[in-house]
Structure 1
Amino acid sequence: MTTEKVIPRRKRTGAHRVPATYAEYLAWEDESALVEWRDEELIVYMPPTDRHQDITGFLFGLLKDFVRLLNLGVVRIAPLEVKLWPDGPSREPDILFISHDQLGRLTPQRFEGGPDLVVEIVSTSSARADRVEKFIEYERAGVREYWLIDPRRGKEQADFYQVDAVGRFVSIGLNEDGLYHSAVLPGLKLDPTMLRTRDLPHSQLVLAALAKDLPQLADDVRAAYRALYDALARGTD
């Protein structure tokens, strides 16, 4: 007689870990849960807060439209399995960017390897994993850029990392303009202070502010975004 392993459902008290094989992780049926697998353990995270969802939605919308505008690849959002290396952990980043060069690694079930860009929105249940475990794993897997956005009250912080010449993550500060300049997505500039505001800006307004000055775009496209920016800016006054 075999005993079926009982895997806990999501709870609001934090992340839960239970011994499980990779096959058992793949057999998990609740697609609405954020579940990861590492070192023969299944990790089930607590449901995201409303603020977490708000920031994730804003950044996903901005990155998706920016990447589509410049035809750079695709942007995906959790839950989606990222198998970092063949016998390694499976993570589900909040947001990930995959360049055209890596699209062959994207299957209907998962992405295999390190995405070009990973964004994690820190929560109480994921803070250690995001800052320690995943930091090491993403670096090893060849992720080229890693954003850590912590929206928790009293702990608001945005950290940005890019790989150096030997493949190590190094912390990247803001430029003289007070903005973070992405290396993986040239032309993308982000003001981290906007992520601390109660009402996040309209993602299309932020996109238009970027696109109206992008040298990669044709003159008529930049002009169209300049007009869109002016219209949206007036609407937010």
Structure 2
Amino acid sequence: MSLPNEKRPWTYADYANLHEEKRYEGIDGILFMTPSPTPRHQRIVTALSALFFDFLQHSSCEVFVAPIDVCLFATKDTPLHDIKDWYIPDLIIVCDKQKIGDERIYGAPDLIVEILSPSTAKHDRITKFHSYERAGVKEYWIVDPIHETVEIYALQDGHFRQIRMHYKDETIHPYIFPNCSIELQKVFM
């Protein structure tokens, strides 16, 4: 759902100065409200983050869960008033410490997970899909809590290619972490 925009375009600096408790994503200077997640959504995010956290403990990669702002097309040197695109993914993994700022993530995370909800499914499947692809996110997961599936997309030659659709009774081996095993029965409880 987009915010009535009395000002266009919005920049990340404008967003950072909002005195609201609501969360918004910015896409090409237009604000979109991100609704609070459901308990089922939160269970899935919590399970995935715990499993990734265990796997990544002795690596240079870190897992983060929403709310955390990701400025896909920016660096730490980009002035906030020049940033017109930022997202709040459900879960991200960042392996380059230079991308982790004090208040936000700069540039493309290595892996992004979005949990579908009726109000955000189209946004996750189309708008975010193309933005994440363009930014160079190496792997993108779309998790469907209703059908209990996980679609895995890997960046190959600058484009996302669907690697596989996984179901609740399967084990996932992330494309960028082939030694990691995630049993989906532990995610879709």
TM-score normalized by the length of structure 1: 0.67
1:144-189 CA-to-partner distances (Å, cap 9, x unmatched) read 001110113xx4431111111x1211111269x9432212223112
Q: Which range is displaced more, 139-148 or 37-46?
A: 37-46
Residue 75 of structure 1, aligned match among 42, 53, 63: 63
TM-score normalized by the length of structure 2: 0.83
Distance change >3 Å, CA 186–CA 80, structure 1 → 2: same
Please state which structure has a larger fraction of its residues in helix. 1
Q: Secondary structure at the match of 1:17?
A: coil
Higher relative contact order (CA 8 A, sep 6+): 2
The whole-number CA distance in structure 1 between the counterparts of 2:111 and 2:37 is 21
Instruction: Report the CA distance between 1:18 and its aligned residue.
Output: 2.8
Given that 1:45 and 1:125 are in contact with CA atoms closer than 8 Å, whether structure 2 keeps it comes out as no
Q: What residue is the counterpart of 1:188 in the other structure?
A: 180
Q: What residue is the counterpart of 1:114 in the other structure?
A: 108
Q: What residue is the counterpart of 2:160 in the other structure?
A: 169
Q: What residue is the counterpart of 1:65 in the other structure?
A: 54
Are residue 91 (structure 1) and residue 87 (structure 2) matched?
yes
1:177-219 CA-to-partner distances (Å, cap 9, x unmatched) read 94322122231123345544xxx3xxxxxxxxxxxxxxxxxxx
Given that 1:77 and 1:93 are in contact with CA atoms closer than 8 Å, whether structure 2 keeps it comes out as yes
Given that 1:18 and 1:41 are in contact with CA atoms closer than 8 Å, whether structure 2 keeps it comes out as no
Residue 44 of structure 2, aligned match among 42, 52, 55: 55
Are residue 142 (structure 1) and residue 132 (structure 2) matched?
no
Are residue 104 (structure 1) and residue 92 (structure 2) matched?
no
Distance change >3 Å, CA 192–CA 42, structure 1 → 2: same
Residue 133 of structure 1, aligned match among 127, 133, 140: 127
| Percent of matched pairs sharing the same residue | 33
Amino acid at match of 1:173: R
The whole-number CA distance in structure 1 between the counterparts of 2:68 and 2:172 is 26
Please state which structure has a larger fraction of its residues in strand. 2
Q: Secondary structure at the match of 2:64?
A: strand
Given that 1:173 and 1:180 are in contact with CA atoms closer than 8 Å, whether structure 2 keeps it comes out as no
Gaps of 5+ in 1: 1-14, 201-237
Given that 2:152 and 2:165 are in contact with CA atoms closer than 8 Å, whether structure 1 keeps it comes out as no
Q: Secondary structure at the match of 2:4?
A: strand
Q: How large is the RMSD of aligned CA atoms in angstroms?
A: 2.1
The whole-number CA distance in structure 2 between the counterparts of 1:17 and 1:195 is 33
